[in-house]
Structure 1
């Protein structure tokens, strides 16, 4: 059974009504009366059940003609990392979307991107397109375009990067193509998503927010890094902040700077601040930090498995 058919619309609507953050990123609600799609945690007025359509991925909602909500901002949601040990197509799709989610692949020309990804996964380009259509109802290129646009949307809303630079770091070959794709999908010009950021101190860096699902164990995560940090390179403090210096080699260029990540548990978000030297590779920094901190994990599912394997009181032997 393909992925969209597994969506339980009634269960999704109950999660939507309760704004349950545990389901953030696991589905998106599209409202037919507004043409907008939202995260389950969105605090706008709950739409009527008959006006709701539910999608497992943002790419599906956008392919169906819906635009992302400007309030809950779907680009902040943790990504879905569902996989199955029995369904070969689901495993292939999981590996393909992991590849497409990595910004280092966004600058490949669209003409050979599909072939490169298929070769990497050991299947034909045609078979990979068929799996995407069967599982998600969109093509690999449509999925990739959604990832690029949502990244650009976040950079436009949260940073003062020039639009030309936003287009380039989001994987678009030109500003003209970026503007055309943005208007076609969102019916907005990029400048319309600019927020009033105010005067920015370059010494304070650039700040963006990243979502995660509860019940995320912040204390345990920071304790893990505290035990393994290198003095003078990284730190973990009592304000639930993690920071380190960073070097990223992208193409033939090397980017060196620093990052500081602070957990905002009331919003289930990580506040990330990076130095100006890393602004050009901000999508790559975000991608690697999400992986390092496992921000796309489903803690509820993990806890259920671990509690079953290690009942209370048994401990690890």
Structure 2
């Protein structure tokens, strides 16, 4: 990624939050690197070096600032294809993929050759994938040391280090201090929950984002109340199943959302935080998107495209929700969760069960699925998608190869183009996804056909998915939507 030093320095002087996470500044006189929004006194231009990522700054010998905490910066939100592939690989690294697998396996996961991935990754971040993985482990450990009272041994293992000795050595070597210097002061009572902050670029239309999720809540799986979103989860990691819950609240004064989870989920903190970022679209760049959408976005700046905590869950939502009301779809999805999900104990807000995993529904009886209130065709489509996901033929997350994934979905009986585009928009986080057969969009824009709708929407490329959310939101204000679940 090319950075213009003069532009970066101007953004640094103004502490412009639109640039938060897009670059980092290393200060030669202190040996520290910061976010462009850091509150410390601005350094002189001649002492600044600008980097595209924390890993690049640390490779150059800089240590992270303890005040602005670079690990809290929001991610990128750019649509370029090579950038998308590099970001997909970085997302997997952020979740700990390279803790147990090779770079070659990572390349296969995102659908390109290892050589090509190394090239575009270096161009995007200025470091190798192994360098980035090491930096991400250290930054996660730094976050756990700062924000929790977990024992150092647990911190090292949760961050992906194979041993405490290795962790202590690398932390001292990279940051020039013993990890215990960052140790959160304990009050003598072990915490039962952990809370983490995730940054974003303002504005963030939190009420609208929460409203979208609230309207589509699955009973027992999700809950929205008093400005907070909560849900259950079930993740597999290191051969173990982790079952629990999370709660997310907005802290606008700090430009972050706060994620709370039980301490039993410590080993899967990294993938949980990555999934929350995707669910809330925290890596978006609203200044670029809203400017491009123009008048359409003027009434609601900072609107996000709600993503997916679990891509398979969104696929089931899309299949169930075809041509029925949101309320009807919610009822069916609740019955599916009750029948096939895993029980969650001691969860708040009435949360009681997880949404079923793909491996569970892949082996489900079609008649049992039909008993939840869906047709034979839709039951078959759910089982087919579940089998494809469970066996690894399809991955429903932003790191999946886009064209191949869309083609595979189109090949499943019972899945039409509206469903494919909805999955692309929410599960694959494709900013240009556009369900051109959507009845609400046709009505709002006065287009009689899908081709006319596509021509009208061409002005919003490559951010058509955000345009869809604005149009759906406008329609919901006048009448309940009957199409989008």
TM-score by length of 2: 0.59
Aligned equivalents of 1:102, 1:308: Cα separation in 2: 37
Structure 1 gaps of 5+ residues are none
Deviation sequence 1:30-66 (CA, Å, 0-9, x none): 1110000001111111111111111111111111110
Partner of 1:131: 120
How far is 1:310 from its partner?
7.1
Q: 1:121 to 1:277 in 2, by over 3 A?
A: closer
Q: 1:121 to 1:248 in 2, by over 3 A?
A: closer
Matched, 1:303 2:303: no
Aligned equivalents of 2:271, 2:206: Cα separation in 1: 23
Matched, 1:30 2:26: yes
Instruction: Say whether the 8 Å CA contact 1:82–1:94 is kept in structure 2.
Output: no
Instruction: Say whether the 8 Å CA contact 1:22–1:215 is kept in structure 2.
Output: no
Aligned equivalents of 1:94, 1:249: Cα separation in 2: 23
Instruction: Report which stretch shifted further, 229-238 or 194-203.
Output: 194-203
Q: 1:137 to 1:232 in 2, by over 3 A?
A: closer
Out of 197, 200, 204, which is 1:216 matched to? 204
Instruction: Say whether the 8 Å CA contact 1:83–1:94 is kept in structure 2.
Output: no
Matched, 1:65 2:72: no
Aligned equivalents of 2:153, 2:64: Cα separation in 1: 22
Aligned equivalents of 2:26, 2:55: Cα separation in 1: 12
Deviation sequence 1:99-136 (CA, Å, 0-9, x none): 32223x14215xxx111112334444344333333443
Partner of 1:231: 219
SS at match of 1:277: helix
Deviation sequence 1:178-220 (CA, Å, 0-9, x none): 11221221111111111325355645x1112111110111111
Aligned equivalents of 2:8, 2:166: Cα separation in 1: 35
SS at match of 2:29: coil
Aligned equivalents of 1:184, 1:227: Cα separation in 2: 49
Structure 2 gaps of 5+ residues are 300-440, 446-485
Partner of 1:141: 130
Partner of 2:181: 192
Aligned equivalents of 1:96, 1:217: Cα separation in 2: 28
Higher strand proportion (structure 1 or 2): 1
Aligned equivalents of 2:188, 2:249: Cα separation in 1: 22
Instruction: Say whether the 8 Å CA contact 2:290–2:297 is kept in structure 1.
Output: no
| Runs of 4 or more above 6 Å deviation | 308-312
Aligned equivalents of 1:316, 1:148: Cα separation in 2: 47
Instruction: Say whether the 8 Å CA contact 1:106–1:171 is kept in structure 2.
Output: no
Q: 1:198 to 1:208 in 2, by over 3 A?
A: farther
SS at match of 1:168: helix
Matched, 1:102 2:69: no
Partner of 2:245: 258
Instruction: Report which stretch shifted further, 63-72 or 257-266.
Output: 257-266
Aligned equivalents of 2:126, 2:276: Cα separation in 1: 29
Q: 1:136 to 1:283 in 2, by over 3 A?
A: closer
| Number of aligned residue pairs | 303
Out of 259, 265, 280, which is 1:272 matched to? 259
Partner of 1:42: 38
Instruction: Say whether the 8 Å CA contact 1:25–1:77 is kept in structure 2.
Output: yes
The RMSD of aligned alpha carbons is 2.3
How far is 1:97 from its partner?
1.8
Out of 25, 50, 56, which is 2:52 matched to? 56
Aligned equivalents of 2:129, 2:35: Cα separation in 1: 22
Higher Rg of the two aligned structures:
2
Q: 1:186 to 1:147 in 2, by over 3 A?
A: same
Instruction: Report which stretch shifted further, 115-124 or 147-156.
Output: 115-124
Aligned equivalents of 1:242, 1:289: Cα separation in 2: 11
Aligned equivalents of 1:235, 1:23: Cα separation in 2: 33
Partner of 2:269: 282
Query: Which protein, 1 or 2, shows the higher relative CO under an 8 Å CA cutoff with sep ≥ 6?
Result: 1
Partner of 2:361: none
Instruction: Report which stretch shifted further, 188-197 or 151-160.
Output: 188-197
